[in-house]
Amino acid sequence: MGADGMVRRAYKYRFYPTPGQENLLRRTIGCCRLVYNKALAARTEAWTARRESVSYNQTSTMLTGWKKTEELAFLREVSSVALQQSLRHLQAAFSNFFDGTADYPRFKKKSRGGAATFVRSAFTWDGRTLRLAKMDKPLDIHWSRPLPDGAYPVNVTISLDSAGRWHVSILVEEHVTALPKAEGKVGVDMGVESFATLSTGEKIDNPGLRKRNAKRLGKAQRDLARKRKGSNNHRRAMLKAARIQARIADRRKDFLHKLSTRIVRENQTVVIEDLAVKNMSRRCKPETDPANPGHYLSNGQTAKRALNRGITDAGWRMFRTMLEYKAAWYGRDIVVIDRWYPSSQICSTCGKNTGRKPLNVRAWTCPHCHTTHDRDVNAAKNILAAGLAVNVCGDQRKHHNN
């Protein structure tokens, strides 16, 4: 996107369907999930059994055949547009997998809610109300913020989350003006105790949302475990636990949005590390005690699990995504340095590498220049310096090529 350009932005709102609308939407979401899973199974089976690739057009032909069968005739009762969009989503998932940007597509589960997407031919919008295909009344949307003036939806996605809440995401094209140039440049060191430490010396506290709600969530999950699966009590207990988790997720997203927006507004260049969050939070195997074969070191395992929970609770990957797309919108620069850069080992004053330090060492003194450092602030300063060097080299290469 240029300095001033059009971007696609989604506006998400709660809405409250009538009983008739909810019945239709639940059937639509269920049919979309069924079509997605059947197409995924067909593509997987074709490749594993016969080494054949199945395209989107072929799955679209399959969908036409499924509708003609007596067993799946109910697919004709919902919007065909939403069903076709579920096949397009599957195609996009495979494209991301082959590009190496995502894992192999997984089957959708009913317990996680679901979604259905409608393009312009399947809804009507008059600037104030939204009506979907096969509905006689518009949706009762809680307009928490207005849509851009004159914006017409590109598509509309209806979703039901695991907490039983209905949302509508309206994708529009709007004109975004880049922010004025800023003087600030900042390096960001991600952490667990402090969510992030900036090269300016500022430390952003980790909200610790899951930890703060651990007691309520734990009780809800224990109650759920005692209920018989499939019973009404089990469904009610599952909904209660899901609502607690949804509240945690909402608060986390609100925190990340506010922080990423502030950093992008205040700084022209933001430097971050290319952290392998998935690998860092991967479940670890118990470590054996060398002195007692057959015995495990439970303390280290417990510490690793606590670190895993801290990383996943912090939302590092989501934070990076927000920084990247907001920087693209508002004309800022995001520089990502190599994950193996020893930011915690180098003295930001004299530049000497002083070696690795255990995680419990939060402050240290450089043996060369005798400067005392806060571990995280020092790392953030090194990240900024490395990022600026990468940025300068990149600009020089562009100038040379021109």
Which residues participate in catalysis according to the annotation? Answer: 189, 273, 376
Helix (H, G, I), strand (E, B) or coil at 141: strand
Closest CA to 132 of 77, 74, 79, 75: 79
Interacting residues of 1 by C-beta distance below 8 A, sequence separation 6+: 7, 176, 328, 329
Question: Rounded to the nearest 5°, which phi and psi values hold at 374?
Answer: -80, 130
Q: Which helix (H) or strand (E) holds 130?
A: strand 130-132
Strand-pair partners of 374 = 363
Interacting residues of 82 by C-beta distance below 8 A, sequence separation 6+: 28, 31, 32, 116, 117, 118, 122
Structure tokens, 35: 């079509």
Cα separation of 313 and 193, whole Å?
12
Question: Rounded to the nearest 5°, which phi and psi values hold at 255?
Answer: -60, -45
Question: Rounded to the nearest 5°, which phi and psi values hold at 162?
Answer: -65, -15
Cα separation of 303 and 281, whole Å?
12
Q: Nearest-5° angle of CA 159, CA 36, CA 83? A: 65
Closest CA to 197 of 359, 53, 380, 68: 380
Residue written as tokens 């020893």? 342
The answer to whether 130 and 139 have CB atoms below 8 angstroms apart is yes
Helix (H, G, I), strand (E, B) or coil at 162: coil
Structure tokens, 167: 């949302």
Q: Nearest-5° angle of CA 317, CA 323, CA 329? A: 140
The answer to whether 24 and 78 have CB atoms below 8 angstroms apart is yes
Structure tokens, 4: 């001033």
Closest CA to 277 of 228, 315, 243: 315
Cα separation of 385 and 69, whole Å?
64
